[in-house]
Structure 1
Protein backbone atom coordinates (compact mmCIF):
# COMPACT_ATOMS: atom_id res chain seq x y z
CA UNK A 1 0.00 0.00 0.00
CA UNK A 2 1.00 3.57 -0.74
CA UNK A 3 0.00 6.74 1.10
CA UNK A 4 -0.43 10.28 -0.22
CA UNK A 5 1.96 12.79 1.33
CA UNK A 6 -0.69 15.56 1.03
CA UNK A 7 -4.09 14.12 1.99
CA UNK A 8 -2.96 10.81 3.53
CA UNK A 9 -5.07 8.84 1.09
CA UNK A 10 -4.05 5.22 0.66
CA UNK A 11 -4.17 3.24 -2.56
CA UNK A 12 -2.75 0.01 -3.91
CA UNK A 13 -0.47 1.37 -6.64
CA UNK A 14 0.66 4.31 -8.77
CA UNK A 15 2.97 7.20 -8.19
CA UNK A 16 0.36 9.95 -7.66
CA UNK A 17 -2.76 10.18 -5.51
CA UNK A 18 -5.98 9.49 -7.38
CA UNK A 19 -7.79 11.87 -5.04
CA UNK A 20 -5.67 15.02 -4.96
CA UNK A 21 -2.83 14.20 -7.31
CA UNK A 22 -0.17 14.45 -4.67
CA UNK A 23 2.91 12.23 -4.70
CA UNK A 24 2.71 8.84 -3.05
CA UNK A 25 5.18 7.01 -0.87
CA UNK A 26 5.31 3.43 0.38
CA UNK A 27 3.72 2.89 3.81
CA UNK A 28 6.18 1.36 6.29
CA UNK A 29 4.61 -1.38 8.40
CA UNK A 30 5.57 -1.07 12.02
CA UNK A 31 6.15 -4.66 12.90
CA UNK A 32 7.92 -5.80 15.97
CA UNK A 33 11.28 -7.39 15.31
CA UNK A 34 12.07 -10.01 17.92
CA UNK A 35 15.73 -9.89 16.95
CA UNK A 36 16.27 -6.23 17.93
CA UNK A 37 19.31 -5.55 20.10
CA UNK A 38 17.12 -4.23 22.93
CA UNK A 39 15.12 -7.45 23.16
CA UNK A 40 16.07 -9.86 25.98
CA UNK A 41 15.84 -13.57 25.57
CA UNK A 42 15.92 -15.37 28.92
CA UNK A 43 18.61 -18.04 29.07
CA UNK A 44 17.58 -21.63 28.80
CA UNK A 45 18.77 -23.01 32.11
CA UNK A 46 18.07 -26.50 30.94
CA UNK A 47 20.96 -26.24 28.48
CA UNK A 48 23.48 -24.91 31.02
CA UNK A 49 25.67 -27.68 32.39
CA UNK A 50 25.86 -27.54 36.17
CA UNK A 51 29.09 -28.78 37.83
CA UNK A 52 28.69 -32.22 39.31
CA UNK A 53 29.37 -32.83 43.04
CA UNK A 54 32.40 -34.93 42.18
CA UNK A 55 33.89 -32.04 40.20
CA UNK A 56 33.37 -29.65 43.13
CA UNK A 57 35.04 -32.09 45.52
CA UNK A 58 37.98 -32.49 43.15
CA UNK A 59 38.41 -28.71 42.88
CA UNK A 60 38.29 -28.33 46.68
CA UNK A 61 40.79 -31.15 47.12
CA UNK A 62 43.18 -29.56 44.65
CA UNK A 63 42.89 -26.21 46.43
CA UNK A 64 43.60 -27.83 49.81
CA UNK A 65 46.55 -29.71 48.33
CA UNK A 66 47.96 -26.50 46.89
CA UNK A 67 47.56 -24.75 50.24
CA UNK A 68 49.29 -27.65 51.99
CA UNK A 69 52.19 -27.43 49.54
CA UNK A 70 52.50 -23.70 50.11
CA UNK A 71 52.45 -24.08 53.90
CA UNK A 72 54.99 -26.92 53.75
CA UNK A 73 57.31 -24.87 51.56
CA UNK A 74 56.98 -21.84 53.84
CA UNK A 75 57.66 -23.96 56.94
CA UNK A 76 60.71 -25.59 55.33
CA UNK A 77 62.13 -22.13 54.59
CA UNK A 78 61.43 -21.09 58.18
CA UNK A 79 63.00 -24.32 59.49
CA UNK A 80 66.25 -23.79 57.57
CA UNK A 81 66.46 -20.20 58.83
CA UNK A 82 65.91 -21.29 62.43
CA UNK A 83 68.50 -24.05 62.09
CA UNK A 84 71.07 -21.52 60.86
CA UNK A 85 70.17 -18.79 63.34
CA UNK A 86 67.71 -19.87 66.08
CA UNK A 87 67.55 -16.50 67.82
CA UNK A 88 66.80 -14.47 64.67
CA UNK A 89 63.02 -14.92 64.56
CA UNK A 90 62.51 -16.17 68.10
CA UNK A 91 60.37 -13.24 69.21
CA UNK A 92 58.49 -12.45 66.00
CA UNK A 93 54.73 -12.72 66.43
CA UNK A 94 54.29 -13.52 62.72
CA UNK A 95 56.13 -16.82 63.21
CA UNK A 96 54.14 -18.04 66.22
CA UNK A 97 52.31 -20.59 64.08
CA UNK A 98 55.61 -21.98 62.81
CA UNK A 99 57.02 -22.08 66.35
CA UNK A 100 54.06 -24.15 67.55
CA UNK A 101 54.30 -26.37 64.47
CA UNK A 102 57.92 -27.13 65.38
CA UNK A 103 56.81 -28.41 68.79
CA UNK A 104 54.31 -30.80 67.21
CA UNK A 105 56.76 -31.98 64.55
CA UNK A 106 59.41 -32.66 67.20
CA UNK A 107 57.10 -34.73 69.41
CA UNK A 108 55.88 -36.82 66.46
CA UNK A 109 59.39 -37.44 65.10
CA UNK A 110 60.74 -38.32 68.54
CA UNK A 111 57.88 -40.78 69.10
CA UNK A 112 58.65 -42.40 65.74
CA UNK A 113 62.35 -42.57 66.62
CA UNK A 114 61.53 -44.35 69.90
CA UNK A 115 59.47 -46.92 68.05
CA UNK A 116 62.15 -47.37 65.41
CA UNK A 117 64.86 -47.86 68.05
CA UNK A 118 62.80 -50.43 69.93
CA UNK A 119 61.98 -52.25 66.73
CA UNK A 120 65.61 -52.24 65.60
CA UNK A 121 67.04 -53.23 69.01
CA UNK A 122 64.63 -56.00 70.03
CA UNK A 123 63.90 -57.34 66.57
CA UNK A 124 60.79 -57.04 64.43
CA UNK A 125 59.33 -60.49 65.27
CA UNK A 126 59.84 -60.36 69.05
CA UNK A 127 58.97 -56.66 69.15
CA UNK A 128 55.59 -57.15 67.51
CA UNK A 129 54.64 -59.82 70.07
CA UNK A 130 56.08 -58.42 73.32
CA UNK A 131 55.46 -54.68 73.05
CA UNK A 132 52.50 -52.34 72.46
CA UNK A 133 51.52 -51.37 68.95
CA UNK A 134 52.96 -48.48 66.96
CA UNK A 135 49.93 -46.28 67.75
CA UNK A 136 50.29 -46.96 71.49
CA UNK A 137 54.00 -46.17 71.54
CA UNK A 138 53.39 -43.05 69.46
CA UNK A 139 50.66 -41.90 71.82
CA UNK A 140 52.61 -42.70 75.00
CA UNK A 141 55.74 -40.94 73.75
CA UNK A 142 53.88 -37.81 72.68
CA UNK A 143 52.04 -37.61 76.01
CA UNK A 144 55.30 -38.11 77.91
CA UNK A 145 57.10 -35.37 75.97
CA UNK A 146 54.09 -33.05 76.29
CA UNK A 147 54.14 -33.53 80.07
CA UNK A 148 57.87 -32.75 80.29
CA UNK A 149 57.48 -29.63 78.16
CA UNK A 150 54.40 -28.70 80.19
CA UNK A 151 56.47 -28.76 83.41
CA UNK A 152 58.85 -26.17 81.95
CA UNK A 153 55.90 -24.22 80.59
CA UNK A 154 54.26 -23.88 84.01
CA UNK A 155 57.57 -23.06 85.70
CA UNK A 156 58.37 -20.30 83.22
CA UNK A 157 54.84 -18.90 83.53
CA UNK A 158 54.94 -18.76 87.35
CA UNK A 159 58.45 -17.27 87.41
CA UNK A 160 57.69 -14.64 84.78
CA UNK A 161 54.46 -13.68 86.56
CA UNK A 162 56.25 -13.13 89.87
CA UNK A 163 59.61 -11.71 88.79
CA UNK A 164 59.34 -10.48 85.17
CA UNK A 165 56.87 -9.46 82.49
CA UNK A 166 53.88 -11.79 82.57
CA UNK A 167 53.80 -14.13 79.57
CA UNK A 168 50.82 -16.07 78.27
CA UNK A 169 51.12 -19.82 77.80
CA UNK A 170 50.93 -19.33 74.04
CA UNK A 171 53.81 -16.86 74.09
CA UNK A 172 55.93 -19.22 76.16
CA UNK A 173 55.22 -22.12 73.82
CA UNK A 174 56.12 -19.90 70.88
CA UNK A 175 59.40 -18.83 72.47
CA UNK A 176 60.33 -22.43 73.26
CA UNK A 177 59.29 -23.74 69.85
CA UNK A 178 61.47 -21.19 68.05
CA UNK A 179 64.57 -23.13 69.13
CA UNK A 180 63.31 -26.60 68.19
CA UNK A 181 64.95 -26.81 64.75
CA UNK A 182 67.98 -28.59 66.23
CA UNK A 183 66.01 -31.14 68.31
CA UNK A 184 63.88 -31.90 65.23
CA UNK A 185 67.04 -32.54 63.23
CA UNK A 186 68.46 -34.81 65.94
CA UNK A 187 65.25 -36.86 66.08
CA UNK A 188 65.22 -37.20 62.28
CA UNK A 189 68.86 -38.32 62.34
CA UNK A 190 67.97 -40.83 65.06
CA UNK A 191 65.24 -42.34 62.87
CA UNK A 192 67.61 -42.62 59.90
CA UNK A 193 70.43 -44.17 61.96
CA UNK A 194 68.10 -46.69 63.61
CA UNK A 195 66.91 -47.81 60.18
CA UNK A 196 70.54 -48.24 59.13
CA UNK A 197 71.25 -50.28 62.29
CA UNK A 198 73.41 -47.72 64.16
CA UNK A 199 71.33 -48.00 67.32
CA UNK A 200 73.92 -46.62 69.76
CA UNK A 201 74.52 -43.42 67.80
CA UNK A 202 70.79 -43.12 67.07
CA UNK A 203 69.95 -43.41 70.78
CA UNK A 204 72.56 -40.79 71.61
CA UNK A 205 71.15 -38.44 68.97
CA UNK A 206 67.58 -38.83 70.26
CA UNK A 207 68.75 -38.45 73.87
CA UNK A 208 70.58 -35.18 73.13
CA UNK A 209 67.46 -33.91 71.36
CA UNK A 210 65.27 -34.70 74.37
CA UNK A 211 67.73 -32.99 76.74
CA UNK A 212 67.63 -29.89 74.57
CA UNK A 213 63.85 -29.92 74.18
CA UNK A 214 62.76 -30.46 77.78
CA UNK A 215 65.78 -29.08 79.64
CA UNK A 216 68.21 -26.68 78.03
CA UNK A 217 65.88 -24.78 75.69
CA UNK A 218 63.28 -23.88 78.38
CA UNK A 219 66.21 -22.96 80.66
CA UNK A 220 67.64 -20.67 78.01
CA UNK A 221 64.24 -19.06 77.37
CA UNK A 222 63.85 -18.39 81.11
CA UNK A 223 67.30 -16.80 81.33
CA UNK A 224 66.58 -14.56 78.34
CA UNK A 225 63.27 -13.52 79.88
CA UNK A 226 64.86 -12.64 83.21
CA UNK A 227 67.44 -10.52 81.42
CA UNK A 228 64.66 -8.33 80.04
CA UNK A 229 63.18 -7.30 83.37
CA UNK A 230 62.89 -8.43 86.98
CA UNK A 231 60.48 -7.14 89.61
CA UNK A 232 62.28 -6.08 92.76
CA UNK A 233 64.56 -9.11 92.97
CA UNK A 234 67.86 -10.04 91.42
CA UNK A 235 67.58 -12.22 88.33
CA UNK A 236 69.84 -14.85 89.90
CA UNK A 237 67.34 -15.57 92.68
CA UNK A 238 64.48 -15.57 90.22
CA UNK A 239 66.40 -18.20 88.25
CA UNK A 240 66.90 -20.29 91.39
CA UNK A 241 63.16 -20.02 92.01
CA UNK A 242 62.53 -21.33 88.49
CA UNK A 243 64.77 -24.34 89.14
CA UNK A 244 63.02 -25.11 92.42
CA UNK A 245 59.53 -24.87 90.88
CA UNK A 246 60.63 -27.09 87.99
CA UNK A 247 62.07 -29.69 90.39
CA UNK A 248 58.94 -29.75 92.57
CA UNK A 249 56.46 -29.98 89.68
CA UNK A 250 58.67 -32.53 87.92
CA UNK A 251 58.83 -34.71 91.03
CA UNK A 252 55.04 -34.63 91.52
CA UNK A 253 54.36 -35.52 87.90
CA UNK A 254 57.13 -38.12 87.95
CA UNK A 255 55.41 -39.98 90.77
CA UNK A 256 52.13 -39.85 88.88
CA UNK A 257 53.77 -41.17 85.71
CA UNK A 258 55.39 -44.09 87.49
CA UNK A 259 51.95 -45.21 88.71
CA UNK A 260 50.31 -44.91 85.29
CA UNK A 261 50.23 -46.84 82.06
CA UNK A 262 53.04 -44.66 80.74
CA UNK A 263 55.09 -45.75 83.73
CA UNK A 264 54.56 -49.39 82.79
CA UNK A 265 55.73 -48.59 79.29
CA UNK A 266 58.86 -46.86 80.58
CA UNK A 267 59.63 -49.79 82.89
CA UNK A 268 59.51 -52.13 79.94
CA UNK A 269 61.86 -49.90 77.92
Structure 2
Protein backbone atom coordinates (compact mmCIF):
# COMPACT_ATOMS: atom_id res chain seq x y z
CA UNK A 1 0.00 0.00 0.00
CA UNK A 2 2.88 2.36 0.74
CA UNK A 3 4.34 1.81 -2.74
CA UNK A 4 0.95 2.56 -4.28
CA UNK A 5 0.58 5.75 -2.26
CA UNK A 6 4.11 6.89 -3.18
CA UNK A 7 3.53 6.27 -6.90
CA UNK A 8 0.14 8.00 -6.78
CA UNK A 9 1.63 11.03 -5.02
CA UNK A 10 4.44 11.24 -7.59
CA UNK A 11 1.97 10.91 -10.47
CA UNK A 12 -0.28 13.67 -9.20
CA UNK A 13 2.70 15.87 -8.34
CA UNK A 14 4.26 15.60 -11.81
CA UNK A 15 0.89 16.21 -13.44
CA UNK A 16 0.17 19.24 -11.24
CA UNK A 17 3.67 20.64 -11.73
CA UNK A 18 3.45 20.26 -15.50
CA UNK A 19 0.03 21.85 -15.61
CA UNK A 20 1.16 24.72 -13.37
CA UNK A 21 3.66 25.69 -16.07
CA UNK A 22 0.67 27.00 -18.01
CA UNK A 23 -0.15 29.48 -15.22
CA UNK A 24 2.80 31.71 -16.21
CA UNK A 25 4.37 31.44 -12.76
CA UNK A 26 1.22 32.47 -10.87
CA UNK A 27 0.73 29.01 -9.34
CA UNK A 28 3.71 27.27 -7.76
CA UNK A 29 3.26 23.61 -6.79
CA UNK A 30 5.56 22.21 -4.14
CA UNK A 31 6.00 18.50 -3.50
CA UNK A 32 4.65 18.73 0.05
CA UNK A 33 1.60 20.66 -1.23
CA UNK A 34 0.64 17.46 -3.06
CA UNK A 35 2.22 14.75 -0.93
CA UNK A 36 0.73 15.64 2.44
CA UNK A 37 -2.96 15.91 1.45
CA UNK A 38 -2.85 12.86 -0.83
CA UNK A 39 -1.08 10.70 1.73
CA UNK A 40 -3.54 11.80 4.39
CA UNK A 41 -6.47 11.10 2.06
CA UNK A 42 -5.14 7.62 1.21
CA UNK A 43 -4.51 6.77 4.86
CA UNK A 44 -7.98 7.94 5.89
CA UNK A 45 -9.66 6.09 3.00
CA UNK A 46 -7.84 2.85 3.77
CA UNK A 47 -8.53 3.33 7.48
CA UNK A 48 -12.25 3.84 6.89
CA UNK A 49 -12.47 0.73 4.72
CA UNK A 50 -10.46 -1.36 7.17
CA UNK A 51 -12.55 -0.17 10.10
CA UNK A 52 -15.79 -0.85 8.22
CA UNK A 53 -14.65 -4.37 7.36
CA UNK A 54 -13.40 -4.97 10.92
CA UNK A 55 -16.67 -3.83 12.52
CA UNK A 56 -18.75 -5.81 10.00
CA UNK A 57 -16.79 -8.98 10.74
CA UNK A 58 -17.02 -8.32 14.46
CA UNK A 59 -20.81 -8.15 14.27
CA UNK A 60 -21.71 -10.53 11.45
CA UNK A 61 -18.91 -13.05 11.08
CA UNK A 62 -15.96 -14.61 12.81
CA UNK A 63 -13.87 -11.88 14.47
CA UNK A 64 -10.77 -10.90 12.53
CA UNK A 65 -7.96 -8.60 13.62
CA UNK A 66 -7.52 -5.16 12.11
CA UNK A 67 -4.00 -6.16 11.06
CA UNK A 68 -5.42 -9.14 9.14
CA UNK A 69 -7.95 -6.87 7.43
CA UNK A 70 -5.25 -4.43 6.31
CA UNK A 71 -3.07 -7.32 5.15
CA UNK A 72 -6.05 -8.78 3.26
CA UNK A 73 -6.59 -5.49 1.45
CA UNK A 74 -2.88 -4.91 0.80
CA UNK A 75 -2.25 -8.28 -0.81
CA UNK A 76 -4.34 -7.27 -3.83
CA UNK A 77 -2.51 -3.98 -4.51
CA UNK A 78 -0.28 -5.33 -7.31
CA UNK A 79 -2.64 -4.19 -10.06
CA UNK A 80 -3.14 -0.63 -8.69
CA UNK A 81 0.64 -0.35 -8.22
CA UNK A 82 1.27 -1.45 -11.82
CA UNK A 83 -1.40 0.88 -13.21
CA UNK A 84 -0.07 3.81 -11.19
CA UNK A 85 3.49 3.11 -12.37
CA UNK A 86 2.27 3.15 -15.99
CA UNK A 87 0.38 6.36 -15.22
CA UNK A 88 3.52 7.95 -13.78
CA UNK A 89 5.50 7.14 -16.92
CA UNK A 90 2.73 8.50 -19.16
CA UNK A 91 2.45 11.69 -17.10
CA UNK A 92 6.20 12.20 -17.30
CA UNK A 93 5.82 12.07 -21.10
CA UNK A 94 2.99 14.64 -20.79
CA UNK A 95 0.24 12.23 -21.81
CA UNK A 96 -2.19 13.76 -19.35
CA UNK A 97 -5.51 12.32 -20.51
CA UNK A 98 -4.43 8.68 -20.70
CA UNK A 99 -2.15 8.98 -17.68
CA UNK A 100 -4.86 10.50 -15.51
CA UNK A 101 -7.39 7.94 -16.75
CA UNK A 102 -5.11 5.06 -15.78
CA UNK A 103 -4.39 6.74 -12.44
CA UNK A 104 -8.14 7.03 -11.81
CA UNK A 105 -8.69 3.35 -12.64
CA UNK A 106 -5.92 2.40 -10.21
CA UNK A 107 -7.44 4.59 -7.50
CA UNK A 108 -10.86 3.06 -8.09
CA UNK A 109 -9.39 -0.39 -7.66
CA UNK A 110 -7.36 0.59 -4.60
CA UNK A 111 -10.03 2.50 -2.71
CA UNK A 112 -13.29 0.85 -3.78
CA UNK A 113 -13.06 -2.47 -5.56
CA UNK A 114 -10.35 -4.22 -3.53
CA UNK A 115 -11.76 -3.45 -0.04
CA UNK A 116 -15.24 -4.44 -1.20
CA UNK A 117 -13.89 -7.68 -2.69
CA UNK A 118 -12.07 -8.52 0.55
CA UNK A 119 -15.21 -7.86 2.55
CA UNK A 120 -17.47 -9.94 0.33
CA UNK A 121 -15.04 -12.84 -0.02
CA UNK A 122 -14.59 -13.04 3.76
CA UNK A 123 -18.34 -12.92 4.35
CA UNK A 124 -18.90 -15.73 1.88
CA UNK A 125 -16.30 -17.87 3.67
CA UNK A 126 -17.13 -17.10 7.30
CA UNK A 127 -20.62 -15.75 7.78
CA UNK A 128 -22.68 -16.40 10.92
CA UNK A 129 -26.34 -17.32 10.71
CA UNK A 130 -27.41 -13.80 9.73
CA UNK A 131 -27.91 -13.22 6.04
CA UNK A 132 -24.83 -12.03 4.17
CA UNK A 133 -26.90 -9.35 2.48
CA UNK A 134 -27.53 -7.57 5.78
CA UNK A 135 -23.85 -7.76 6.66
CA UNK A 136 -22.97 -6.18 3.31
CA UNK A 137 -25.70 -3.57 3.77
CA UNK A 138 -24.26 -2.70 7.18
CA UNK A 139 -20.80 -2.37 5.60
CA UNK A 140 -22.14 -0.07 2.86
CA UNK A 141 -24.04 2.15 5.32
CA UNK A 142 -21.06 2.31 7.71
CA UNK A 143 -18.79 3.23 4.82
CA UNK A 144 -21.21 5.87 3.54
CA UNK A 145 -21.71 7.52 6.93
CA UNK A 146 -17.99 7.52 7.78
CA UNK A 147 -17.08 8.80 4.30
CA UNK A 148 -19.72 11.51 4.48
CA UNK A 149 -18.49 12.70 7.88
CA UNK A 150 -14.87 12.82 6.74
CA UNK A 151 -15.87 14.59 3.51
CA UNK A 152 -17.88 17.24 5.37
CA UNK A 153 -14.97 17.87 7.73
CA UNK A 154 -12.52 18.12 4.83
CA UNK A 155 -14.78 20.47 2.84
CA UNK A 156 -15.35 22.65 5.90
CA UNK A 157 -11.61 22.90 6.41
CA UNK A 158 -10.97 23.77 2.77
CA UNK A 159 -13.78 26.33 2.68
CA UNK A 160 -12.28 27.98 5.77
CA UNK A 161 -8.91 28.21 4.05
CA UNK A 162 -10.53 29.57 0.89
CA UNK A 163 -12.40 32.25 2.85
CA UNK A 164 -9.18 33.26 4.62
CA UNK A 165 -7.39 33.50 1.28
CA UNK A 166 -10.19 35.62 -0.22
CA UNK A 167 -10.17 37.92 2.80
CA UNK A 168 -6.42 38.45 2.38
CA UNK A 169 -6.92 39.53 -1.23
TM-score (norm 2): 0.88
Q: Is the 8 A contact 1:175 1:221 kept in 2?
A: yes
Q: Is the 8 A contact 1:159 1:238 kept in 2?
A: yes
User: What is the CA distance between 1:124 and its match in structure 2?
Assistant: 7.2
Taking only aligned residues, the RMSD between alpha carbons, in angstroms, comes to 2.0
Quick check: 1:198 aligned with 2:95? Answer: yes
Distance 1:202 1:158, change over 3 A: same
Q: Is the 8 A contact 1:162 1:231 kept in 2?
A: no
State which structure, 1 or 2, has the greater radius of gyration over its C-alpha atoms: 1
Partner Cα separation in structure 2 for residue 261 and residue 244 of structure 1: 25
Structure having the higher helix fraction is 2
Unaligned 5+ segments in structure 2 are: 163-169
Q: Is the 8 A contact 2:20 2:29 kept in 1?
A: no
Partner Cα separation in structure 2 for residue 132 and residue 158 of structure 1: 39
Q: How many residues are treated as equivalent by the alignment? A: 162
User: What is the match of residue 150 of structure 2?
Assistant: 253
Partner Cα separation in structure 2 for residue 164 and residue 230 of structure 1: 5
Unaligned 5+ segments in structure 1 are: 1-102
Partner Cα separation in structure 1 for residue 42 and residue 160 of structure 2: 13
Describe the SS at the equivalent of 1:251: helix
Q: Which has the higher contact order (CA 8 A, sep 6+)?
A: 2
Q: Is the 8 A contact 1:109 1:187 kept in 2?
A: yes
Quick check: 1:160 aligned with 2:41? Answer: no
Distance 1:190 1:262, change over 3 A: farther
Quick check: 1:109 aligned with 2:7? Answer: yes
